[in-house]
Structure 1
Amino acid sequence: MTLLFKLKQGFASNSLLVKLMISFLSVILVLAAFNAFSFLYLRNKLYDEIVRYNELGIKQTVESYENHFRLTQNMILSLTQSDRWIANIGILSDVSNNRRYDKVNEVKSDLFELYSNPFLHFDNFILYFKEGGYVLEKEGTSSMEDMFGSYYASEAYPPEFWSSFAADNYFMRILPAAVFTERSMNNVRSLGLQLPVVIKAAPYKEVYCIIMMNPRKLNTAYANTGEPFYILDEEGRTLYASHPFVEVRSPASYEKGKRHERSGGHYYFYEQGADTGFTYVRVAPIESIMSEMMKLNILLVTLLAAAVLVSVFGSALFSLRLNHPLKRIIATLERKQTMPVPASSVKEFAIISDRMSSIMNANERIQEDLDKKNSLVRQYAYTNKVKNIPMNLNLTELEDAVQLNEPYAAVLYEIGFTNTDSEYDQEIQLLRKLVHGLFAGLGEEPVTLQIEHNQLMSLLFQPGSIQEIHRVLNLLKELLQVEDYLCLTIAVSPIYPEDMPITLAYEQLLQLLKEKRLTGETQIIAEPRSPGTRALPLKVTQREELQSRLLSGSEDAVFEWVERHLEQLTKKDAPAADFLSYARGVAEQVEKALAKLNVPESAFDGKLHDYDALGRFYSADQYRQWFRELIRPAMFAIRARTETKDPITSFVTDYLNSHLREDINLDLVADKLNITPGYLSSYFKEKTGTNFSDYLNDLRIGRAKELLLNLELRIQDVASEVGYHNVNSFIRMFKRYSGITPGEYRKRNI
């Protein structure tokens, strides 16, 4: 009777157990109804989702293919625009007459950098000189007939195809893929499926770059779904098909919003390339889609039934297990309010009370700590926003705290120290507090961030007028004048509207910092002082003049040239970026002079690549000291190199310099030294690192460049002065070594 009474009391309508059971069952019913509705709804939408998934997949594949073809075109375009490449291709186009076979290795080296890149999927890079009837590829040179008849033979592309090939108005043409083989006397080796890509080797019309691209590797990289895939060109021809047994179909039309069609037992998903105009097609069997849908339907029904059964059983068990301890806790609390509870019956509750008290105290301490760190977190959020760094997923709620909904101004400080050997982290933090304090009374609470190790940035909200900002900055400048070890470059923005992104404001301030002058004092820059200012490299004439002074070994001549140009930059109040560009140009010429004399790096301990210190310079005197440390050891190495020349080399160079107008050849100079021409040629190459003829032509072309700057001399006179008695030979040789004609050189440099 007592047990029955307890059961009735436990299952009363207002008991905890009944309420728990009803709550769990209600949640289960809601979830079951939601799952059933989702199943019925998704069953109708699943087919469209699978189609949309395939459409997205073919779109991503097309973007990857188009990017790959665009990258290939841009890399070849950049190569063909190189002056050295143009000159070398011009030489090799007429190699049967000029015999300049030494240029073959230079061109092969350029080609190697392309076909050796594993991400381009090039199996070979072939240069086809149509007029010369020969090709140049990674294995060397061969005739066009041997190349496409034996080494890269294909029924689709016989030698007759390439002999009659014309690129028309295309810069790049992609031809249908075909199987190529290598045929020898007793063996035929398959080279696999190749996708020929033909690109004009500008500016020469009859020279073509033929890239043998591996289409299967491209398919593996960009369309590796296991489903049939093929590419059609603009005329409907098949460029590549991954599964030859699948029917190749052209799309009937490209209706808006429709990129697929059904035919037979397959779905065809189409997408057209934006750059190439090719049609990319993925073929999905209908059986596989229906099979996946059936499997998914069965799985969803099974999971729904299992979830309902497990949930009902688990809710009943959990309700029973939860009901008993809760009733004891409630009973204990009720007894605690009315009468004393024995120690044995309230021990657990005392522990719980103690733990809750500890938790509340800990919460108070945590809250205090969070309040102290609130400003740091805000600065972190603003720093991320300035640098356009995505917010951590755990801190996305801070995004609302840094939303700009009011006008603001930004100030960027670039910190420089006169003594760079010391660390000034503490001084930077003190400066940050000083800046923050000065702007604290201007508008709302500002935010001062440390963007980089030597950069601070202040964000001023509702700052009033720009004049007030400049007043505070001028006060800061006056305060910093007593600190001789610190100089700031301050870029200040106008007052931006609330929709102005902070990232864009930061970029504009960085551009203003480039207007910094080498004054050694704190500067405030509010607008560009020289619109369109940009750091320009050394001119051709300047580089050649400095190169000649370096090779002369005269330290005074080099320092006079450097000092003169430093004075010019100082007089025109050039920004620091111009000084930096000028210093880099001088260092490059020093490096070239050392390389031209074959001076090893172990013999020079200067600062050829020490550019990090240049960005911290604040005066022209620092650049003068840097140049002294750069040039003096270099000149010592150059003089040491030139002074150790042997008598034979000295005689040859002196004779060539003094008899440059005469008809000079190797036999004549060897006869004057009473040695054989062959011995003199090898000896001169060993000592100087260059051939006799190349040295002579370099010397003549260099002297010709100096004479061409004199407008009173005709080109015929210049040719005669440097030993070329046939002006056509002079023009041809000048273009070979300079890449341009003498007339073009004179126009560029006068």
Structure 2
Amino acid sequence: MKRWFYSLGVLQVFGALLIVILVMSASNLVIHRNSISDIYEKMVDHNNLSVKYMIQTFDDHFRAINNLIYTIHSLPYDNLIDNDGSIDMSRVYALQQQVESLMSSHDVVEDVIVFYDNVPVAITSTGTSSLEHLFEQKYRHPHYDAHYWLKFLRSKHDMKVFPAEDFTVLTGSTQEYRTKKLLVVTDSNRMALSNKNVVVLVDVDKLLRQVNRASLIPGSSLVVMDQNRQVLLGTGANWDLVEVINTFKGSVKDETSVTREDYEYHVYQSDFNGFIYIDRVPYQFQNLDSVTKANRSIILTSIASAILLSLLLSVYLHRPVRSILRLLGGGNSKGNDFRKIYSGIVKLQTENQEFRNQQQFLENELRRVVFLRAIEEAPYSEELWRELEKFKQDFLPHRYFVMGALLLERSSPVREMLPAETQSAILQRELRNARPDAIVVHVRGLRFLTLFPVREPGERPKLLRQVREAVSAMEQGVLDGWRIRGCVGKLRNAEFEQFPEAYEEVRESMYNRPVNVEEAVLDAAEPADQRGMHLPLDQLEKLSNCLLGGKMEEAGAIIRDIMRRNAGNHVGLRQMEHVARTLFYHMFRLAEASGMDGEALADLERRIHRTLEKDGDFDLTEEMLVEAAACIGAKVRVAKPDKLNPAFISQYIELHYMEDLYLDHMAEVFNTTPKYFSSYFKKTFGVTFVDYLSKVRLAHARELLRNTTLTVAEVGERVGYLNASTFATTFKKYYGISPSDFRKQELGA
């Protein structure tokens, strides 16, 4: 009986081991087939959406460049030649300032070049030069030299984007040459809007960083071609584009696809400029076949080995069979053998959980991409409609919805910076305590959008109160050390077509939000109380003089006064950004003219931009400007010019035009003789020093006559004329009209 029982126990152990083997093999097979395949399919779908988002980003940048060219053509100054045939440097300076201001809002633009057919001066964002100097010294290329551009731009041509090429670029104050890949965009002269010729140089590396290539499947790439199928640039390694186009049999049209060897090729065409985009995606994961075969071999080997081992181990493992069963059910085990089995099972469970987490991540990322496309694209494509329908129950479960926006700011030092996904999850979790169906979507940086489905029209006031209470609780709880600013938009019908308008509403509300408002969450339906920006010219001039004179405390006080007066005027974030940028670039030009190190200037500029665009913090922006003033002021004081510098000369005149600037004084400042300085000035600027100084003074006088109530004598004294008669005579000489008549004419207009 005992022997029979013993034999039965051995059979039970053997049978249990076989069951375990079958369960583990089946689990591995299911994980292999479902997880890897599903992940690949999800990644392909996500890749397609990411490509379309990249194409939209390319279109946005090309549209912005087109608008930049059009805006430059719309500027005045179609003629830079005075009646006496000389170049009017005041117009050149004014045009250069406006080109510099326009270019500052385009991150991917390397430089903008404006020139006229009859003027030997090329105007850029950093100053003036000749076209020959620009393309033979600053932007070198073996083929695209100054002769080529003059010949091309003077011929009849349409707007053209040249393929990305490596240029040797002269950069920095150290005058070092570096290789940069640039796109050259030229305007059209078939229907010329002005006498200007405009050339825009685009930094390809910056452009590619803007399109977020990290979201693509590893091994995929995107090629951009113009309407004539000329390759402009690509995001990956080179591939045989000619063979691919031949594979399409000449029919390279929008939304067409083809499979060739190990890749799929998808063609898209831009609705904006007709450019063609070809996306190459790996047909399957690299080494997927080898991984599959290896996994199958492992499974088969494991089964065979386990059966053999079961025959040997079942003799003495029948006693701990209950322990094994308890282990599979979650019990504890003893002995090295069982500890290894337990570790294998735990590892299998962990890998399975990782696969599920990855699938969930891809699902959330797909939902986010669909949402971001829905708020920016209208009308929607058929593919986007299909994706929106999949998430309709998540986004629009009720008859109405309200969209909002949230911005996080550090109000005090925090222990650690949380990832955007974690912050988004925290915001959504806390908001759902008040609104169970709230949705939070991360946009970029510390900016988030919220979506609140609403059942009845009268719920919006209650919703606004609930959001404010939830935000206040987060600032005092889970997000202690952070300040949350936001807004809540209008109530809208539950239709996806309402998304772009709702997004524009909350976006404008956040940009126009007064910087000193105490309420955390504003009602976007209520207009903001804004009284205009405070940016007086005399304060800017005083700031420059303080920096040159080393009066750092007074310069900081001027900056704080301007910023806080704007805050007192309920100026919005967008207007405050303009004020901060104007203050910074006013100091920036002074630093450039003094020969300050280019890397230090670039670092200051990056920090200011990062503070304005990412953080949006008014107090931090103010302190950054004061810090920049101290840094620039310290450098300017020690940067005494030891030789003549056109940029420093023009900057010095601009800052001191109201003083008694005679030739002897200027020669002393620049360590030369009056005769040599006069000759150098006439040769460099094309006019005499007296004429140039008069035009600068009179330009400021016109602004004072137009915008202030000062008397004519006071205006003349303000711009440097101690004698009112001399001021009136000089004004009439240059403008053909007396100051009094000019003011009457302007006020009458």
Q: What TM-score, normalized by structure 2, do the two folds share?
A: 0.45
Q: What TM-score, normalized by structure 1, do the two folds share?
A: 0.45
**Which structure is larger by alpha-carbon Rg, 1 or 2?**
1
The one of the two structures with greater contact order (alpha-carbon pairs below 8 A, sep at least 6) is 2
